[in-house]
Amino acid sequence: MSFITVGNALGCTINSHRRGWDGSICKNAETWNCSAKQQFRADYCQQGDPRCYHIHIFEEGNPYCLIDDLGIGWLLEPHPDALNNQILLFWGKRFQEPRGISDINTRPKDYVFGAYRVRNVFPQKINEFKTLWKIEPYPDGWTRFQQPYILTVYYKSIIGGVYLKEVNRVAVENMFEKAAEQANSPHPNWFESKDAERFEYFHQHLQEWFESARENANILHQNMVHTYVRPPVIATKSPFIELKNLDVRKTVPVTVTNSNKPPKTLPPTYPLIEKDTIKEEIKSTYNKEVLDALLAASLTKNIVILTGNPGVGKSSLAIKLIEDGERKLIVAVGSTWRGREDLLGYINPITNEFEPTDFTRFLFKAEAAWRKNDKRTHLIIFEEFNLSQPEYWFADILVRSQYPEDQEKLRTIELGGKCIRGVTTSTSKVFISPALRFAATINNDHTTLSLSPRVLDRASIVELSLEPRYTLEKAKLELDEKQIMSIEELDALLKYKNAMFSLRAADSLKRCIDNLHLLDMSTTWDALDMILLQQVLTKVRLMVGDPTNDSLLQGLEDWSESYGKYLRKCASLIDGWTEALKDGRDVIQA
């Protein structure tokens, strides 16, 4: 399916509830924090009004879940059958009696409450502006887990929506296996006996239902209609009903013309991406949103700034925008750049000649092409654009490239000196070609500087990100599912520390796996252990006193518990971090 990996499960957040919650309206709702807004709890729950969207999720006889249109309409309006036969998990935040969700300094884990095998979904029109979506499971296709909720879940966000999440199928199956082990313990903690029976039935049929979900998702993917189709809703009187019979074809537009003025023409564009094959590659590597952002930048700004974690492919993408090597130049920004002479060059005090840089020579090259009526795009790529403050050395170019192309004087830079050494020109000026475009890559870490509003106002920012699974595919690496999950879960934990599993890490892993005999390693796990240690965990910096450390370390300890026996070096390093912080020592790998 276009919005999830076919075969995986889906999940969404619901309100947290008390132990043994039976679906009744909460008493003293204002004092119980279930994650619903305080005003909602005061206006509805406290007054006994059963408007809680999640009050009927595990109701005997007729369970269902209500989801606001703002949370799921993006998917179900164009594809009303998208959830049919899919496995849907429900989870919420950690909570404690008697107040609700814990506000103590612990990692805000997501705990699984239960699951549906979705039978159907349909809209409920509340008023002109509000729609709710009712999700119903098969009568034998729903379950809730034991209390208290001790099972965590790993998920990733879905591009295009902020409510539904995608959950790896293997992770779901492992979760049910662990829950089954708990159910077979001497003292199972089911709230009622029927819960145990429902869970056992759901667990027994889980693989079969996953296959059914896969088949349905494939069929839907093949038959998707990309036009906007609103699902049927309960008919209500619309305030615009009087416009229903208006025949717009009979409306004759009145056109005011002025024979003295030429017809308006659109300004010329100089594409940042010239070939459709590159467009398709960008869309398949990242997503359609990245392609749309780059195409919009082509129409609106002269400079596009590519941002993202190291190894995400910023430089590779910039280089691919234009294939013709004669029409592009790569400029490596220096951390010591403080003025325009670092970019453009300087006047030789002895010869009074201007000593140009490769950048300036390329400006003359682009100008010469323009004068010969060659309107093809010329591209300059700045690597590490924010290694030094751009407005110090890029100000002249930034300002002059904004002027209209018929304003040649304003688009011309005076370089100085009697002539330009090595360039055949009668003046010491250079014209900024309107067909000249700029791309820049930036990183966000302690070695770089933030961009000023002056630069940001004149640029388009495009953020790049890659899922670990795709980086492995791009490196042509075939790992087993447990190994992929270990990478995905570590990546999710460390992404806020800019310690991602990058394309470079995937390439390094491929080389190590292909040469295990040279490294004296026996298994793929050994190679993975080494690469995660050297190229992911080494990026982590933990400062004593940082309140986020506890949450991160708890997550890393859970990760080590799951994969530590395979990734011993990584588990040992993480254990050392905990000890270092307890001793009052910062964790800085390099």
Beta bridge partners of 304: 439, 460
Q: Is residue 249 part of a domain?
A: no
Residues 220, 224, 228, CA angle at the centre, nearest 5°?
135
Say how far apart CA 298 and CA 292 lie, in whole Å.
Answer: 10
Q: Is residue 258 part of a domain?
A: no
- Starting at the edge strand found earlier in the chain, the sheet holding 87-93 runs 65-68, 130-144, 110-127, 87-93, 9-13, 165-167, 156-157
Beta bridge partners of 440: 305, 382
Query: Helix, strand, or coil here: 323?
Result: coil
Same domain, 498 and 454: no
Same domain, 215 and 149: yes
Q: First vs last Cα of the chain: how many Å apart?
A: 42
**441 — pLDDT class (breaks 50, 70, 90):** very high
Q: Is residue 268 part of a domain?
A: no
Same domain, 145 and 215: yes
Domain end call among 419, 440, 463: 463
Q: Is residue 239 part of a domain?
A: no
Asked whether the predicted pLDDT for residue 535 surpasses 70, the reply is yes
Burial of 393 (0-12, 13-18, 19+ CB in 10 A): buried
Let me know: does 433 contact 327? Beta carbons within 8 Å. no
Question: Which residue's structure tokens are 């190994």?
Answer: 483
Say how far apart CA 78 and CA 351 lie, in whole Å.
Answer: 70
Domain end call among 463, 494, 527: 463
Q: What pLDDT, on a 0 to 100 scale, did the predictor assign at position 337? A: 93
Helices (H) and strands (E) in the chain, counts: 19, 21
Q: Is residue 71 part of a domain?
A: yes
Sorted by sequence, the CB contacts under 8 Å of residue 101 that are 6+ apart come out as: 16, 33, 34, 35, 93, 94, 95
Residue 415: domain span: 276-463
Same domain, 92 and 206: yes
Same domain, 439 and 569: no
Same domain, 449 and 529: no
Same domain, 54 and 175: yes
Is the pTM above the cut of 0.85? no
Q: How many distinct structural domains can be found in the chain?
A: 3
Q: What pLDDT, on a 0 to 100 scale, did the predictor assign at position 108? A: 55
Sorted by sequence, the CB contacts under 8 Å of residue 154 that are 6+ apart come out as: 167, 168, 171, 485, 488, 489, 492
Let me know: does 385 contact 450? Beta carbons within 8 Å. no
Same domain, 488 and 455: no
Say how far apart CA 488 and CA 170 lie, in whole Å.
Answer: 12
Say how far apart CA 451 and CA 394 lie, in whole Å.
Answer: 12
Asked whether the predicted pLDDT for residue 285 surpasses 90, the reply is no
Q: What pLDDT, on a 0 to 100 scale, did the predictor assign at position 341? A: 93
- The DSSP secondary-structure symbol of 262 reads P
Mean pLDDT of 49-63: 83
Residues 403-434: pLDDT tens digits? 998 899 999 999 988 889 988 887 889 999 99
Same domain, 438 and 498: no
**228 — pLDDT class (breaks 50, 70, 90):** very low
Nearest to 11 by CA among 147, 149, 169: 169
Q: Is residue 245 part of a domain?
A: no
Orientation angle between helical segments 524-535 and 568-582, nearest 10 degrees: 30
Q: Which of 19-33, 40-54, 408-422 has the lowest mean pLDDT?
A: 19-33
Strands 412-414 and 100-101 come out as unpaired
Domain end call among 414, 445, 463: 463
Question: Which residue's structure tokens are 């030429």?
Answer: 262
Residues 103-160: pLDDT tens digits? 555 555 678 889 999 999 999 888 777 888 999 999 999 998 876 555 666 677 776 6
Question: Which residue's structure tokens are 């009568």?
Answer: 139
- The DSSP secondary-structure symbol of 44 reads I
Say how far apart CA 358 and CA 329 lie, in whole Å.
Answer: 8
Say how far apart CA 281 and CA 275 lie, in whole Å.
Answer: 10
H or E stretch at 456? helix 453-457
CA 433 to chain centre: 35
**516 — pLDDT class (breaks 50, 70, 90):** very high
Same domain, 472 and 442: no
Better pLDDT: 11 or 29 = 11
**236 — pLDDT class (breaks 50, 70, 90):** very low
Let me know: does 465 contact 276? Beta carbons within 8 Å. no
Residue 15: what residue type?
A: N
Which two tokens mark 509? Answer: 């892993």
Say how far apart CA 32 and CA 38 lie, in whole Å.
Answer: 9
Phi-psi region of 121 (alpha: psi -120 to 50; beta: other; left: phi over 0): beta
* Number of residues in the chain: 590
Residue 258: what residue type?
A: N
Q: Is residue 518 part of a domain?
A: yes
The CATH number covering residue 290 comes to 3.40.50.300
Let me know: does 75 contact 3? Beta carbons within 8 Å. yes
Same domain, 446 and 503: no
Nearest to 534 by CA among 569, 488, 583, 491: 569
Same domain, 504 and 378: no
Let me know: does 359 contact 329? Beta carbons within 8 Å. yes
Q: Is residue 261 part of a domain?
A: no
